[in-house]
Amino acid sequence: MELNMPWVESPFFEELLTKKNLSPEDAELARTYHRDGFLVLSGMFDETLIDQAVKEMNKHYDQLGVVQKDRALNLWQTKPAVKQLASDPKIMDTLQMLYGRRPIPFQTLNFKYGSQQRAHSDSIHFQSMPQRYLAGVWVALEETNEDNGTLQYYPGSQRWPIFDYSVIMNQLETAQHAGDVQFYEDNYETFMEAMIKDIGAEPEVLRAKKGDVIIWAANLVHGGLPIRQKGRTRFSQVTHYFFEDCLYYNPSHSNIVTGEWSVASQINIATGQREWGSYNGQKVPLKKAGDSRYLISRHAPKNWRDLVFLFQKAWHKVTH
């Protein structure tokens, strides 16, 4: 039975798998991804490409004139190796196989040091309609372990409910705290930590070799471990992907209960094209709802695309 969700996350996964005619290797990858919510691939990239990406990152940090410990957002716009890692055809093929739709790389994050992020699922930041058409791809640009603050995952947590602020808060307007880091830490991260403790979920610590790739489902709970050896680098890159024929939105900036969605088009890193999104072959009619959010309404004006464009321009101004 087909559901309106990625086949690899479907409760009918085994039945759908038999219809797919996958190679034994791909079937094994899909099984792992279905079970754990993530998979590890080795030997995908040339060492020279990895070294080039590190060189580009070092240049970026040198130009800043400070050792910036924070993540570098969207370096792909100016750094060719970062862009190449984000649009690698083999990774895209694997994502296409797992999700059954064309993947769209839309954001890169580069880290010189471990993020030490508390446990979270990326679905608090990104979501799609239909849900779950989002994936993260992490590339180890050097060896990572407990010393330099590697990643940890909660296998199977992709099957937990999708927690956005409408679950954690009891307010009509959940977007009022969008971008408030303190609020995110005090509410979302604290909630996630309490839940993990309560259900006794055990993390799996990832020790990656240089060049290892991890693909994870957007709802998989993960985080960065503390850096045990102070000052040790952990060069890495994360690329986030959404998928063709979905509507992309930011849940933290949306009022979920009132249906005021923070929808946005994205630039496809691989093609340079702006991807507007749609819903299973249907245009999504949007109606301005104030505060840069949109109602999905069958009664919206015909020129919804123009409205989205205006929204994009306003959004660009706020974020640049």
Nearest by Cα to 222 from 122, 153, 145: 153
Burial 211-232 (b: 16+ CB within 10 A, else e): bbbbbbbbbbbbbbbebeeeee
Please state the closest distance from residue 226 (CB atom) to ligand AKG, in A: 11
Are the CB atoms for 268 and 290 separated by under 8 Å?
Answer: no
Name which position in 86, 151, 196, 213 contacts ligand AKG (CB under 6 A): 151
Site for Fe ion in 97-126 (CB under 5 A): 122
Per-residue x/- mask for ligand AKG, residues 175 to 194, rule CB under 6 A?
--------------------
Query: Rounded to whole angstroms, how far apart are CA atoms 260 and 313?
Result: 18
Q: Which residue number, 105 or 285, has a Cβ lying nearer to Fe ion?
A: 105
Query: Rounded to whole angstroms, how far apart are CA atoms 138 and 136?
Result: 6
The entry of ligand AKG, Fe ion, none near residue 111 (CB within 5 to 8 angstroms by kind) is ligand AKG
**Which tokens sit at 131?**
């849900």
Please state the closest distance from residue 162 (CB atom) to ligand AKG, in A: 15
The interface region with ligand AKG, picked from 36-44, 111-119, 159-167, 262-270 by CB under 6 A, is 111-119
Q: Which residue number, 121 or 262, has a Cβ lying nearer to ligand AKG?
A: 121
Helix (H) or strand (E) holding 233: none
Site for ligand AKG in 236-255 (CB under 6 A): 236, 238
Q: Which residue number, 141 or 151, has a Cβ lying nearer to ligand AKG?
A: 151
Are the CB atoms for 308 and 247 separated by under 8 Å?
Answer: no
Name which position in 117, 145, 166, 187 contacts ligand AKG (CB under 6 A): 117
What are the residues facing 261 on neighbouring strands?
Answer: 294
Query: Rounded to whole angstroms, how far apart are CA atoms 67 and 315?
Result: 29
Name which position in 88, 122, 164, 275 contacts ligand AKG (CB under 6 A): 122
Residue 30's identity, in one-letter code, is: A
Q: Which residue number, 122 or 260, has a Cβ lying nearer to ligand AKG?
A: 122
**Which tokens sit at 74?**
């969207």
Q: Which residue number, 120 or 293, has a Cβ lying nearer to ligand AKG?
A: 120
* Collapsed DSSP state (helix, strand, coil) of residue 95: helix
Q: Does 184 bind Fe ion (CB under 5 A)?
A: no
Query: Rounded to whole angstroms, how far apart are CA atoms 305 and 320?
Result: 22
- Position of minimal CB gap to Fe ion: 122
Please state the closest distance from residue 199 (CB atom) to ligand AKG, in A: 21
Are the CB atoms for 157 and 216 separated by under 8 Å?
Answer: no
The entry of ligand AKG, Fe ion, none near residue 264 (CB within 5 to 8 angstroms by kind) is none
The entry of Fe ion, ligand AKG, none near residue 92 (CB within 5 to 8 angstroms by kind) is none
Q: Does 224 bind ligand AKG (CB under 6 A)?
A: yes
Q: Which residue number, 9 or 122, has a Cβ lying nearer to ligand AKG?
A: 122
Nearest by Cα to 122 from 195, 222, 197, 32: 222
Nearest by Cα to 264 from 314, 300, 320: 314
Residues that bind ligand AKG (CB under 6 A): 109, 111, 114-115, 117, 122, 136, 151, 222, 224, 236, 238
